[in-house]
Amino acid sequence: MMIFSLIAVVSISSIFFILPESIKAQSEEKAFVTHSGAVVRTTGEIIDPLYVEATMEFDPMEYLRDFDYGTTSPLPDGTTLREYTIVAEDDKIMEVSPGVFYNAWTFNGSVPGPTIRATEGDTVRINFINNGSKEHTMHFHGIHPAEMDGVFEVVGGGGGQFTYEFIAGPAGVHPYHCHVMPLEEHIVHGLYGVFIVDPKEGREPADEMVMVLNGLDTDFDTENNFYAANTIPFYYQHHPIQIKTNELIRVYVVNMVEFDPINNLHLHGNLYKYYPTGTDLVPSFYTDMITLSQTERGIMEFEYQYPGKYLFHAHKVEFSEKGWVGIFLVSDDDSDSEQETSPATKGDATEYGT
Ligand SMILES: [Cu+2]
């Protein structure tokens, strides 16, 4: 009996001896200093009583269908100028999951930054202001002159300015992001967004939305702790995206996950036409599954025939279990007359194609 007890004690103590190290590694508190000098301590994985205030407001449902067409004016040659003001900051705090706070670096105050949208051939002018504490830039994927590439012309913090100007093209969906070294750090903190270039002939009217697939390394160990579509883990699972049967849905999807080599997107109860990078008007695939590496992106198009709840998520199960999962709530379209008069796109419908 005594020997048994002794063995039990030894076993329990050895478990106890081993476990605390691994727990300690996971829950080790790390600190960072914000631009305003506040010291933030967080383990990134547990409720953090030291830190209770988010300074970044972000509504994934609003972001989903929000397109920034800029301020337009006609140019002498008959083409359109679109002007945008983008402000970078690097001291915002975002609650990414209940009790988990993250130091977000932002374009116009959110992660992702605004979805910049133009038509092929428009002149895009970005008045970039860096109000951060570090150097930042805006690097657009697409075709433009070297000096507009946002790599070598670093913009100093504390109010540095740069004007990016280029002709929008090619048609498709492209990411933009900061390109200051260390690049991984500047991207994972949130300095990225989506740039949509519409083809001159337009696309078929649809209920359009943007999904940026992102990962959040909340304990700064170069591994993601959370994954999401549009920044907030599990958001569209708890707040399903409402769509109609027999209505064309067009999703501009961009993978901005760092650290993990691939991400993917699986749609339930349906298949979608997929246009890689959105550069062709003819789809390359008809599938329910695409795999995306860093900054890979494309356009998905589909319609649901049957009402109900359908999941969409990473089929890399680890990612979906850590937040990259959502639901389309499909309801019957019982308003045929309304459907006929509905605008080309929801959100900024009147701006589409102008
Ligand atoms: Cu940066």
CA of 283 to the centre of ligand 1 (A): 34
Phi-psi region of 317 (alpha: psi -120 to 50; beta: other; left: phi over 0): alpha
CA of 109 to the centre of ligand 1 (A): 14
Nearest to 150 by CA among 133, 141, 258: 141
Q: Which residue has the tokens 């390394």?
A: 217
Q: Model's pTM, two decimal places?
A: 0.81
Is the model's pLDDT at 70 over the cut of 90?
Answer: yes
Amino acid identity of 161? Q
Supply the DSSP symbol for 306: S
For the chain, what percent of residues have pLDDT higher than 70? 79
CA of 275 to the centre of ligand 1 (A): 30
The alpha carbons of the chain give a radius of gyration, in whole angstroms, of: 23
Per-residue pLDDT tens for 267-284? 999 999 999 999 999 999
The two three-digit tokens of residue 2, written as one number: 């005594």
CA of 115 to the centre of ligand 1 (A): 18
* Alpha carbon of residue 109 to chain centroid: 13
CA of 145 to the centre of ligand 1 (A): 21
pLDDT of residue 222: 87
Per-residue pLDDT tens for 200-214? 999 999 999 999 999
Three-state secondary-structure class, residue 39: strand
The two three-digit tokens of residue 162, written as one number: 């740069």
CA of 179 to the centre of ligand 1 (A): 6
- State phi, psi for 43 to the nearest 5 degrees: -90, -15
Q: Which residues surround ligand 1, an ion (CB under 5 A)?
A: 136, 178, 180, 186, 191
Residue 185 neighbours by CB under 8 Å, 6+ apart: none
